[in-house]
């Protein structure tokens, strides 16, 4: 496969999503508005909303306090064509910790709610989960664009993939993403394992964002990318590729812990696993590592996963 990145691929959509405008609050202490980024579906990408709420929370505390955890619920689908208002409630400012509640509003209704905690930082003993072994370097792994290039929308092999979703998966998400083992767009190749790893890196250098330091911007960008693939190990172990006609997925709730600061300038390894799947829901777990093994963040997310019935056998999916 040709592993080159298309010249139109850019990370600009990430920093555009993180650019929140202050407005007068209607419900709580501070307020911002933003627009989610375009995608091929009527509802916005969940990580877009998580990242924007992250920025709203960050901009409500003193700069020496750093976000260390955020717990979120997706209450309603977010329309990609309408503005989202983020209202921040100042719950507590203690000696070492600050707590905020962030609500996202659209069309007068609450669509998203999160609790975020910030820490002033202190010294202590250290431990971190180890970097997974045996994962090939990102330069040796095909990009999503390279993987998708041979498949033509509208053919049986493409399943439900359209021209728009192919472009989005290839270059429209701001990040170059490289799967180990291969991605689950059209089929789950090989063993139905509950594990995968994804190398992620912005297509180009992240641009400045008003109101954020580079470290704050990179933390928010990590929140932005976390939702794209964290449910995929569940799809992998259940043999449910993204383009399987009739498959329905949605983010339900989300938790993210930020352990250490890290730059988005180089590849990060997003090691992921399926924890459980039951009752039309699945729980995925992910850890972000730098190439040299620093554990930056941990993600847990539960999602709605509704499979079509009956599910076509693996042997005939490409011929339906």
Residue 310: what pLDDT? Answer: 75
User: pLDDT tens digits for 42-96?
Assistant: 899 999 999 999 999 999 999 999 999 999 999 999 999 899 999 999 999 999 9
Query: Pseudo-torsion of CA 33, 116, 215, 228, nearest 10°?
Result: -80
User: pLDDT tens digits for 142-161?
Assistant: 999 999 999 999 999 899 99
pLDDT, mean of residues 250-277: 96
Verdict on whether the full-model pTM lies above 0.85: yes
pLDDT at 1 > cutoff 90: no
User: pLDDT tens digits for 88-121?
Assistant: 999 999 999 999 999 999 999 999 999 999 999 8
- Take residue 138 and report the two structure tokens written for it: 């990102």
Backbone region of residue 46 per phi and psi (left: phi > 0; alpha: psi in -120 to 50; beta: other values): alpha
Query: Pseudo-torsion of CA 12, 18, 19, 20, nearest 10°?
Result: 160
Question: What is the bridge-based pairing of β-strands 295-306 and 248-258?
Answer: antiparallel
pLDDT at 6 > cutoff 50: no
pLDDT at 237 > cutoff 80: yes
Rounded Cα distance, 36 and 49, in Å: 7
Q: Which candidate, 148, 167, 180, 146, places its Cα nearest to that of 267?
A: 180
pLDDT at 315 > cutoff 60: no
Rounded Cα distance, 181 and 194, in Å: 11
Q: Which candidate, 299, 300, 297, 269, places its Cα nearest to that of 283?
A: 300
């Amino acid at each position: 496969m040709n592993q080159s990145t298309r010249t139109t691929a850019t990370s600009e959509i990430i920093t555009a999503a993180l650019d929140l405008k202050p407005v007068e609050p209607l419900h709580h202490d501070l307020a911002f508005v933003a627009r989610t980024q375009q995608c091929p579906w009527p509802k916005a990408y969940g990580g877009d909303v998580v990242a924007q709420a992250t920025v709203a929370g960050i901009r409500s505390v003193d700069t020496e306090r750093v976000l260390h955890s955020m717990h979120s619920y997706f209450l309603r689908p977010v329309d990609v064509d309408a503005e989202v208002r983020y209202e921040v409630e100042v719950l507590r400012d203690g000696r070492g910790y600050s707590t905020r509640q962030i609500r996202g509003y659209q069309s007068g209704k609450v669509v998203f709610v999160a609790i975020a905690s910030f820490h002033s930082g202190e010294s202590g003993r250290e431990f971190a989960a180890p970097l997974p072994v045996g994962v090939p370097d990102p330069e040796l792994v095909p990009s999503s664009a390279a993987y998708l290039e041979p498949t033509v929308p509208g053919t049986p092999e493409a399943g439900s993939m359209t021209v728009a979703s192919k472009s989005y998966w290839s270059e429209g998400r701001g990040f170059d993403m490289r799967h180990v083992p291969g991605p689950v767009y059209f089929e789950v190749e090989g063993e139905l394992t509950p594990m995968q790893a994804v190398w992620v890196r912005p297509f180009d250098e992240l641009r400045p964002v008003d109101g954020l330091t580079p470290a704050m911007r990179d933390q928010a960008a990590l929140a932005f990318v976390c939702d794209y693939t964290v449910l995929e190990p569940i799809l992998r172990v259940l043999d449910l590729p993204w383009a399987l006609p009739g498959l329905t997925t949605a983010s339900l709730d989300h938790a993210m812990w930020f352990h250490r600061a890290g730059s988005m300038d180089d590849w990060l390894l997003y090691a992921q696993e399926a924890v459980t799947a039951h009752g039309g829901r699945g729980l995925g777990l992910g850890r972000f590592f730098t190439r040299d093994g620093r554990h930056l963040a941990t993600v847990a997310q539960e999602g709605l996963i509704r499979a079509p019935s009956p599910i076509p056998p693996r042997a005939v999916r490409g011929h339906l």
